[in-house]
Chain A
């Protein structure tokens, strides 16, 4: 426990020190890259709640990234720039859609759940494409960033970086509390042995649905930040391969561990960055690497540092 806190402290310090270091080295690009990774790590943390702890293999988590982003884009489109409203709507809309999708899909098990979550997210993707008002297939540029008057200016790349870092650390802590609470224990128990849970009186459905909604809402926040990060929204955020990458972020890092999704997001996106530097056809290398990681690297990166949680 103490060792973990120390490791987290070191990691947080490194991340806090990154912007001044990058500026000193004349490489401001790295602040941008790290910010993107931090935001997607938030999405991965939210997915880990249902995938890692809940055993719900959602292949549609990108939906909430898209909904969060569209909330910012659409509100901005109609001249509402208040960041708090953006966040509120992003969270509310994501939770609502997650409730609808979850209510239908969580009844189904295993492979059905995978296909259903994938299909519903694809539906939202097509919906995004057919919304010509908001740019359709091409997406649209944000009219303005979310505004948090007096508190922080997201146009300042370093300030935004610290916001992303703060939100990510907050979400790490939030998930940590949730998965160790009574709710979290009930959720994890249902993953570990569903028949046993039913027999002692836990109906899995309401706990899974609640976790699904919480995860959707958390990912909505990531989506809102991501829209501000790129200054651009596109249906591509909800594309199926985005969902697939998010799953890999969780798996590579180590499922059902607090640090896993963060480690996994850094690992995957940094590897992608390196491969992109080598060749335009980087996916032809990444694909087999991912296959190998599934076959041989079961426990993920967190397994190297920590004993995984149950």
Chain B
């Protein structure tokens, strides 16, 4: 029971990280109609910058802040240099160009930091466990990830639905020229939105650092799961991204934790030993297939 609860929390924790990624991706798609495969690279950049900045400054929070700011800048630079010309192109061109960016970023990171995984350390106040009910405990850091993720989700919801910036963002999504006519610098708006999306990815990346390995190519593995999130949640919808992310996070985590023992009760243990991990790794994709069969445009389709 305690194990189930802990795994549920792990699923939620993975889910909020997926959400941070999905939110940036879906915002950029919804507003600029841009498919950005290199979103995973920004996740990686965030992780590397934060680790390095923490080592430099010796201060974890300062490292996090620098990592975030760095990813924001990198994101805006990428938008201005490479992606701006692609808004009017079809999705195929966008996919191909951002694929090229991935190759570039992965290799650049390998040149600067090497291919071996980095492990980042946490300050004492984020180590240890907090007590939950009935004597079970949960790592402080993972709990902090959940809290930060949910706070960002709330903040995003507020910005998009309640502020002038959010209004511009929603207007820009539906009518580019009209917003331009209102005297808003649409180019700048796009650059800022893209930078914010990048920063969200960077945040997910730097939070992932202490839990998973920081290495070149780390971004693509999560990116493809984020695609699953978006397909399930419906593209262009923040709410869909949140629900989809938590579903995928929980299903994936629980599948990896419990599918093998569960299968073991039904089929011979040696078969379960082989089939369990295979099935667990396929679970979210099968879930995606089911959602597509029932609701082809995702659970919260916006368009």
Contact = CB atoms under 8 A, between A and B. Distances in A.
A122 B285 contact: yes
Interface in A76-132: 104-105, 107-108, 110-112, 114-116, 118-120, 122-123, 126-127, 129-132
B285 A115 contact: no
Interface stretch (A165-173, A217-225, A240-248): A240-248
Contacts of A284: 103-104, 107-108, 111
Interface stretch (B2-10, B65-73, B204-212, B228-236): B228-236
Interface stretch (A16-24, A138-146, A288-296): A288-296
Contacts of B104: 283-284, 287-288, 291
Contact of B103 (A104, A108, A290): A290
A116 B292 contact: yes
Nearest to A290: B100
Interface stretch (B43-51, B88-96, B127-135, B150-158): B88-96
A127 B282 contact: yes
B288 A283 contact: no
B296 A108 contact: yes
Is the interface on chain A under 10, 10 to 19, 20 to 34, or 35 or more residues? 35 or more
Given A114-B35, A281-B111, A119 B224 contact: yes
B231 A283 contact: no
Given A104-B289, A133-B274, A244-B99, A283 B107 contact: yes
A119 to B, nearest CB: 5
A286 interface: yes
B278 A127 contact: yes
A127 B107 contact: no
Contacts of B182: none
Contacts of A116: 227, 231, 288, 292
A132 B274 contact: yes
Interface string B263-291: 00000000000100110011001101100
Given A104-B289, A295-B86, A114 B96 contact: no
Contacts of A126: 278, 281-282
A281 B106 CA distance: 10
B29 interface: yes
Contacts of B110: 281
B101 interface: yes
A251 B85 CA distance: 18
A111 B35 contact: yes
A59 interface: yes
B82 interface: yes
A50 B194 CA distance: 32
Contact of A283 (B89, B106, B277): B106
A279 to B, nearest CB: 10
A57 interface: yes
Contacts of B289: 104, 120
A294 B38 CA distance: 15
A249 to B, nearest CB: 11
A123 B285 contact: yes
B181 interface: no
Nearest to A298: B93
Interface in A231-286: 240-241, 244, 247-248, 251, 281-284, 286
Nearest to B221: A122
A177 B251 CA distance: 46
Given A284-B107, A287-B102, A290-B96, A119 B231 contact: yes
Contacts of A133: 274
Nearest to A116: B231
A294 B35 CA distance: 14
A87 to B, nearest CB: 26
B293 interface: yes
A240 B93 CA distance: 17
Interface in B8-24: none
A120 B292 CA distance: 12
Contacts of A287: 100-105, 107
B96 A131 contact: no
Contacts of B97: 290-291, 294-295
Interface of A: 51, 57, 59, 104-105, 107-108, 110-112, 114-116, 118-120, 122-123, 126-127, 129-133, 240-241, 244, 247-248, 251, 281-284, 286-291, 294-295
Interface of B: 29, 35, 82, 85-86, 89, 91-93, 95-97, 99-108, 110-111, 220, 224, 227-228, 230-231, 235, 274, 277-278, 281-282, 285-286, 288-289, 292-293, 296-297
Interface pairs A-B: 8 shortest CB-CB: A287-B104, A290-B100, A287-B103, A123-B285, A126-B281, A284-B107, A115-B227, A283-B107
9 contacts: A57-B91, A108-B296, A111-B29, A119-B227, A122-B224, A123-B281, A291-B82, A291-B101, A295-B97
